[in-house]
Each structure stands twice: as structure tokens, then as C-alpha cells.
């Protein structure tokens, strides 16, 4: 079966399942995801949620939020919760989702977008560049902030 890339607006009936999947990936309370997803689905924000599905199974995803828990509140919005299930890695899923989010946000007049990461060399492949360091909430060391213009 071919992988399907969707925005949550295309599959709103799967909102609860998507929030549960992101919760299981990251340990962030499901309610936090649901709150952001509800704002997106209601049209209160264009900060969207994007998933890759193999049949009815979530295998990759990411979202867009105002701030991904760091002290640089001026750098918004932030791509967050980038995740691909281990069995599906190295197939370009995250890259396709990153391209999808950048294009969709730009289509809604939102550019640049930012993300925080500890990865080296991954995001650069998809047009992201190092921008600055930021202090993550409750984190001992600063983390890298990337920008996509």
C-alpha cells in the first residue's frame, strides 16, 4: 500500500487517534495536542498538523505551534513533534512532511518557520539552516533553532 500524506483538515475524524499517536511518540499530554488540533480544525489558526499514514496507521507526523517550549518567543511559528516510526525511517517521510509544512504555511502567508532540534545534518537536507541557540524550558543546555525562509 502506498503511503498517504495528509493534513488533519483532510481527515478530521482521526483527530483523537492522531493526538494519541503524538502523545505516545513524545509523552506530551494528549490534551495539549487536542487543544492545538482543535484550533487548527476550527480555522482559528493556520498552524497545522500533518501526518503520513500507511493504511489506517500513523507512521509519521509533525505539527506547527506558536512556540516549542523555549525562551525565544519572537521566533514563531515552530514546527514541532517531528516523528517517524522506527520501522519507517530512511524512506524520506520526515523530509516530505517538512516540505509539505513549509509549502502549506507559506501558502497561508506564514514564513519563515522555525524548529528546535538536537540533530546535526538532518534538517539541512530539506532547506533548513541554523539560526541561533535558545534555552529550552527546564533544559540544562541551550538547543539549536533552525529557520526555513
Per-residue pLDDT, 38: 98
Give me the number of domains the chain comprises: 1
The yes-or-no verdict on residue 42 having pLDDT over 80 is yes
The yes-or-no verdict on residue 1 having pLDDT over 80 is no
Asked if the structure places residue 61 within a domain, the reply is yes
Per-residue pLDDT, 88: 97
Q: How many CB atoms lie within 10 A of CB 130?
A: 13
Calculate the alpha carbon distances from 21 to 31, 47, 78 in Å.
12, 19, 20
CATH classification at residue 60: 3.40.630.30
- Give residue 69's domain range: 4-111
Pairing status of strand 57-65 against strand 78-84? antiparallel
Per-residue pLDDT, 55: 96
Confidence of residue 83 (pLDDT cuts 50, 70, 90): very high
> What are the pLDDT digits (tens) for 120-133?
899 999 999 999 99
Query: What share of the chain has pLDDT > 90, as a percent?
Result: 97
Asked if the structure places residue 126 within a domain, the reply is no
Mean pLDDT value across the chain: 96
User: Taking residues 55-80, what's their average pLDDT?
Assistant: 96
Asked if the structure places residue 119 within a domain, the reply is no
Asked if the structure places residue 137 within a domain, the reply is no
DSSP label at residue 87: G
Q: What is the pTM of this model?
A: 0.94
Amino acid at each position: 500500500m502506498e503511503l498517504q500524506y495528509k493534513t488533519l483538515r483532510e481527515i478530521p475524524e482521526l483527530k483523537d487517534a492522531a493526538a494519541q499517536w503524538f502523545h505516545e511518540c513524545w509523552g506530551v499530554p494528549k490534551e495539549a495536542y487536542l487543544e492545538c488540533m482543535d484550533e487548527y480544525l476550527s480555522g482559528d489558526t493556520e498552524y497545522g498538523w500533518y501526518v503520513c499514514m500507511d493504511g489506517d496507521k500513523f507512521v509519521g507526523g509533525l505539527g506547527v505551534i506558536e512556540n516549542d517550549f523555549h525562551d525565544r518567543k519572537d521566533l514563531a511559528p515552530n514546527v514541532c513533534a517531528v516523528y517517524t516510526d522506527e520501522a519507517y525511517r530512511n524512506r524520506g517521510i520526515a523530509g516530505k512532511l517538512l516540505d509539505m509544512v513549509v509549502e502549506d504555511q507559506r501558502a497561508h502567508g506564514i514564513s519563515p518557520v522555525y524548529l528546535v532540534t538536537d540533530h546535526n545534518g538532518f534538517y539541512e537536507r530539506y532547506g533548513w539552516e541554523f539560526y541561533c541557540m535558545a534555552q529550552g524550558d527546564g533544559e540544562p543546555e541551550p538547543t539549536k533553532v533552525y529557520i526555513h525562509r
